[in-house]
Structure formats: structure tokens, C-alpha cells
Chain A
Amino acid sequence: MKIIKKIKFTTLVIIVSICITSCNSTPNSLESNLQSDSIPSIIDTLTAPISITDNTNIENTENTTASIKKEEIPKILIYNFHVTNRCASCIAIENATKKTLDTYFKSELDKGIIKFSILSVDDDANAKIAEKYQAFGSALFVTRVFKGKETTSDFTGDGFKYAKNKEEKFIEILKNQITEYLK
């Protein structure tokens, strides 16, 4: 009988001690967690960073892909400068340039890969761009923009030489350069 009582008491002691130990340990760990981080911050740590990281990565990847795609396609900027009183050659240069673009580069124009601007150097609004290209009168420049680098060819001389009386020759020269710049 005594033995049975002893076993019961021991068992009880063990159960109580287990309960006490477990009850003490859990609050301690929670306490330590709560002390170091607030609940929202824990939630943040567990959830937000993952989603943000993922989004950032996606966004970055998309941006990178988009920028690579953008950078991989060269852009062509064509500037035709003129004064207010235009001569026959100057008008011929504009017309032949338009004809070249409409005939051979219509889709690039529509997509914005090629941009054609006709600018009067007498207009104050064009002063900055005219200064950049050192355009003081009639002039035709073709600029290739690729990976942030600009390469410019000056077609003013060829324009004056050919556009009026040998248009097909001028068109050929311009077409070849634009085709080369699009590569």
C-alpha cells in the first residue's frame, strides 16, 4: 500500500513539475520575442520582406529586360535645319530626306525608332539643338543613339551636292547610312 502511495505521489510530483516547467518556458520565449520585436515587425519580417523582395526582383527583372531591349535597338534621330528664306537645294534636301524615310523606313518611323525633325535655326525654340549640332543654316544630321552613345553623320554637303539635281544618288547615300545605323 505504501509503495502504491509513493508511486502516486512521485507521479503527481513529476506531472506538476512538468506542467510548471512547460508553463514557465513558453511565456519566457514569447516574452523574449516580444521584447526584441513588436508583433507587426515580426509579421513584417515573416511576410513583407518576401513579397517585397519578390516584387522588387520582378520589377527589377522587368526593368532590366525592358532596358536591355530598349538599349539593344538603336534609335535614329534625323535633324534637318534650315533658315527662314530657303533656297532650292535646302528644300530639295528636306524633300529627298522625307522621300527616303517614307519609301524605305516607314515602319521604323511609325514605331518611333527613327525620328525626323525639321527645325528652323531662326526659331529661338531651336537654339539649343542648333547650337549642339553647330547648325547655322541649312544642315542635315543623322544621329544614332545606342547604349547612351551618340554617333552623328553630317549629310549637309551630300545634300547640297546631290539632292536637287541627282536626288536618287542622295537617297542612296542616306538610305545606306540609315540602314548601317539601324544594325
Chain B
Amino acid sequence: MKKILFILFLALTNCTLFAQTQNLNKKTKLLVYYFHITDRCNTCRSIEAVTTKVLNENYKNELDSEIIVFKTFNVEYPENKYICEKYQAYGATLALTKIEFGAEVKIDDLTNFAFSKIHTEEIFTKGLMDKINEYLK
């Protein structure tokens, strides 16, 4: 009996965690996740702002049809603990996740790229768009 309860518990936990990260449309090809702490600096805010701008200006249709899913998470909120662990996001982190047939194929951590290029917006924009286009193929 204990074993069955334990298995049920594990199954439920996994389902919940799966739902937290994988509530995906079948069309979804790309997850764009941005993580941040509560006390944010200008650079961190800029990365989020420019990423939002790039997506809204260039991938509006993909966002609306959920081909691209864009989400932001505060790493200090308890409800985001699992997803932060999964992405190893303990502070500002920009990650792209490629999805194929509802399953994750690859996680691409763009944090270093973001922090080194964000001060030249056009370079950051081009680099981010190149990546997004690659994953949308």
C-alpha cells in the first residue's frame, strides 16, 4: 500500500512539475525564458526589455499562435523553484529551449551573450534573432 501511495505521489509530483514547464501547445517550437532576481539592475531590465521588443516587433504571429512562448520568472519566488533548478537559473538568465513535437530538444543558455552584447542593442537584437530563426526552422 505504501509503495502504491509513493508511486502515486511521484506520478502526481511529476505531472505537476511537467505542467509547470511543459504546458505546451503542439505547435510550440521555441520557449524564450528570462529569469531575474527581485533587486534588478539596469542591464538585467534592458535584456528583458529588448528581448520583449525583438519578439513583439518580429515574431508577433509566432507569439500569438504559441509557436514561440515567452515567459519571465523571478528566481526568488518559491513557485519558480523547480523551473529555476532545471535551467540552473539563480540570477539573471536568458534561455532558449527548442521544442519538437511537444518535447524539449535543446536548451541554449544565452546569458553570457546577453550581458556582453546588450549594450549594443543592434548586435544583441541580431544575435537573438539569428538564434530564434535557427530554432524556428
Contacts and interface: CB of A to CB of B under 8 A. Distances in A.
B90 A158 contact: no
B59 interface: no
A52 B15 CA distance: 86
Interface string A160-173: 11111110010000
Nearest to B116: A154
B42 A161 contact: no
A137 B42 contact: yes
Contacts of A137: 41-43, 119
B119 A157 contact: no
Nearest to B41: A87
A139 B92 CA distance: 13
Nearest to A153: B112
Contacts of A142: none
A160 B116 contact: no
Contacts of B115: 139, 154, 156-157, 159-160
Interface residues of A, number: 25
B38 to A, nearest CB: 8
A179 B12 CA distance: 45
B114 A87 contact: no
B40 interface: yes
Size bracket, chain B contacts: 20 to 34
A134 interface: yes
Given A154-B112, A154-B116, A156-B116, A169 B90 contact: yes
Interface string B76-90: 100000000000111
B114 A166 contact: no
A136 interface: yes
B91 A163 contact: yes
A120 to B, nearest CB: 14
A165 B75 contact: yes
A138 interface: yes
Contacts of B37: 88-89, 164-165
A90 interface: yes
B55 interface: no
A162 B91 contact: yes
B82 to A, nearest CB: 15
Interface of A: 83, 86-90, 134, 136-139, 154-166, 169
